Amino acid sequence: MNKAASRKNGTWRNWAGNVTARPAREVAPASVEELSAAVRRAAEDGLRVKAVGTGHSFTAVAATDGVLIRPQLLTGIRKLDREASTVTVEAGTPIKRLNLALAREGLSLTNMGDIMEQTVSGAISTGTHGTGRDSASIAAQITGLELVTADGSVLTCSAKENPEVFAAARIGLGALGVITAITFSVEPLFLLTAREEPMSFDKVTDSFDELCTENEHFEFYWFPHTGNCNTKRNNRSAGPEHPVGTVRGLYEDEFLSNGVFRAANHVGRAVPATIPSIARISSRALSARTYTDIPYKVFTSPRRVRFTEMEYAVPRAALVETLRELKAMVDRSPLRISFPVEVRTAPADDITLSTASGRDSAYIAVHMFRGSPYQAYFSAAERIFTAHEGRPHWGKVHTRDAAYLAGTYPRFGEFTALRDRLDPERRFGNDHLRRVLGE
Report pLDDT digits (tens) over 107-162.
999 999 998 899 999 999 999 999 999 998 999 999 999 999 999 999 999 999 99
Determine the residue type at 67. V
Residues 6+ apart with CB under 8 A from 379: 399
Mean pLDDT calculated for residue range 196-206 = 96
* pLDDT number for residue 283: 65
Mean pLDDT calculated for residue range 270-294 = 78
Model confidence at 4: pLDDT above 70: no
Model confidence at 261: pLDDT above 70: no
Model confidence at 185, pLDDT cuts 50, 70, 90, reads very high
- DSSP-derived secondary structure for 293-349: E-HHHHH-----S-EEEEEEEEEGGGHHHHHHHHHHHHHHSS----SPEEEEEE--B
Cα 261 → chain centroid: 22
Mean pLDDT taken over the chain:
92
Determine the residue type at 374. Y
Are β-strands 191-200 and 228-237 bridged in parallel, bridged antiparallel, or unpaired?
A: antiparallel
Distance CA 281, CA 283 (A): 6
* pLDDT number for residue 248: 64
Higher pLDDT, 3 or 180: 180
Give SS3 for 21: strand
Strands (E), 112-243: 142-148, 154-158, 178-185, 187-188, 191-200, 217-222, 228-237
Distance CA 197, CA 210 (A): 16
Model confidence at 255, pLDDT cuts 50, 70, 90, reads very low
Model confidence at 275: pLDDT above 80: no
* pLDDT number for residue 369: 86
Q: What angle do CA 237, 196, 315 make, to 5 degrees?
A: 90
What's the whole-model pTM score?
0.92
| CA distances to 2, 14, 85, 372 from 18, in Å | 16, 7, 40, 11
What is the total residue count of the chain?
Answer: 439
> How large is the greatest C-alpha to C-alpha distance in the chain, in angstroms?
61
Determine the residue type at 402. A
* pLDDT number for residue 330: 97
